[in-house]
Amino acid sequence: MRTLKKIVIGYVLFNLLLAGLFFSAGGLQMLEKPQIPQVESPGSLASDLEYFKQVVLANEKDITPEQAAEFNQIVESAPAPQSEDDLTLLVLQALSVFENAHTTALTTKMHRLPVRFHWTSDGLIIVKARADHSALLGQRVLSLGGKTPEELLPSTMVLTGGGTESWRKYRSEFLYSAPSALSLIGATVTKGSVEIRTLSPDNVESRVQLTAENETKPGDPFWEFRNAFPEDESFATKGWTSVLRKGDHLPLYLQESDKLYLLRELPEHDAIYVRMNASFADKTETLDEFEQRILELGTKSQAQHYIVDFRFNRGGDYTKVLPIVRTIADATQENGRIYLIVGPNTFSAGIIAASQFKHLTPQNLVIVGSQVGDKLRFRAEGFYPKLPVSGIQLYLTKGWTDLADGCGWFDDCWPPNKILLNGIGKLEIDIPAENTWTSYLSGIDLVIDAVFEDIKRESTEISSMKSG
């Protein structure tokens, strides 16, 4: 009987200890349920705006008094929205004051031009168009409503808020496609119509007046990059034409673009190529299955290097990707390298996974590409309220991630991050590389070419040392 009593007491004390550890690590934030405002009936765009104000102030974490005041000033001083465009712009502008890239309109509703854009290192180009404007495909944009894309960029900050400079530039691709957004940031727009001046690949300038489509089209900051993929039909663009076609000679990062993951052996470079365009399961393959394929190919090929392409890893659940990060780190030979490709669309869980490569194998890691999409300290782990009438969906956040200094036990980080993640200081680019207007149109990937050149250089140096 005494033994049983001791077991029960021990069990209770053990669970109290676990509970204490859980709450001391900030576990309460994992148990908090979102506060949902009452929905007015019948609803209107004006009631959507009031719902938006209430749901944001009740749920967005760590808003400073100054940010709350600025948020309220934007919402309360704005005229009642007359269209989904008005409401979307108000939402973007108000959320930008929190300076957190995750905190945004996840699903936008706006009247958009019949073309889509993509930044290359030397300019903004038209990559997708409605069929009747297909002649514009591949052309570089010289001006939108009388201003160059570069001149308009600083003004886009009022609608994009946080993130890095590269993220804000990427977000401008969406904003430039919406005349109402262009008007707000300083371009000349007349009744939804914008004059666009372009330059063709053979150096011929032209002007075209484009008008927004009659129906609103959706957008999503985490997926808009798909407009640059061959024959993409995302965001209600079925039947549109793309400058790149699936039958073309395409670089690895654009091959089988309907799949999130791609795995290829590259024996001529003594490497394995691993592409991950998200941090969650694909339609036809789990992450465990993908990890198993990586293991099997690594064992079979005995390749010295891994090329991990995260340039379009827009995030998801990092806990599902960390096993793959560890598998690649463990499989890399002592003298091998992990070439990690990143860019503006390396975001959220994509940045987290990228950072842990640096923690696990700093001596083997070479980071290639350009600046990632967010700072190393950001808020995420939120929820997705939808405005009842317009259907505009928000992403509101409550959990901090700190990949720079790491998360202390008693700080404000999301509790699992304190156990699973390590701070890395900085995530700097070792080999800067970006695609140009010409390389994109030609199906040449200058980024992976930079990797191949470094592999060749390294191999030549090793051979010289051995022969010497």
pLDDT at 16 over 50: no
Q: Where are the domains of the chain?
A: 2-82, 108-240, 252-374+435-467
pLDDT at 412: 87
Mean pLDDT in residue range 124-139: 98
Mean pLDDT in residue range 33-40: 87
Structure tokens at 216: 């609103």
pLDDT at 221 over 80: yes
pLDDT, tens only, 451-461:
999 999 988 77
pLDDT at 244 over 70: yes
Mean pLDDT in residue range 121-138: 98
pLDDT at 81: 97
**Residue ranges of E strands in 62-153:** 104-110, 115-120, 123-129, 140-144
DSSP per residue, 358-424 = HHH-TTTEEEEES--SS-SEEEE--B--B-TTT--EEEB--EEEESSS---TTSSB-HHHHHH----
d(CA 236, CA 243): 17
pLDDT, tens only, 299-314:
999 999 999 999 999 9
Assess contact for 144 and 196: CB atoms under 8 A.
yes
Q: Residues 338, 343, 348, CA angle at the centre, nearest 5°?
A: 90
Assess contact for 401 and 408: CB atoms under 8 A.
no
Pick from 2-11, 136-145, 168-177: least confident: 2-11
Mean pLDDT in residue range 248-271: 96
d(CA 399, CA 238): 37
State the chain's mean pLDDT as an integer. Answer: 93
Label residue 411 by pLDDT band (50, 70, 90): confident
Mean pLDDT in residue range 407-426: 92
pLDDT at 23: 45
Assess contact for 437 and 453: CB atoms under 8 A.
no
pLDDT at 465: 65
CATH 3.90.550.10, applies to 108-240: no
pLDDT at 410: 81
Mean pLDDT in residue range 328-339: 95
pLDDT at 359 over 60: yes
Task: Give counts: helices (H), strands (E), the chain.
Answer: 15, 17
Label residue 75 by pLDDT band (50, 70, 90): very high
Q: How many CB atoms lie within 10 A of CB 459?
A: 14
pLDDT at 467: 67
Top CATH class of 252-374+435-467 equals alpha beta
pLDDT, tens only, 43-59:
999 999 999 999 999 99
Q: How many CB atoms lie within 10 A of CB 226?
A: 21
pLDDT at 12: 53
Label residue 161 by pLDDT band (50, 70, 90): confident
Mean pLDDT in residue range 193-212: 97
pLDDT at 347 over 80: yes
Mean pLDDT in residue range 360-365: 96
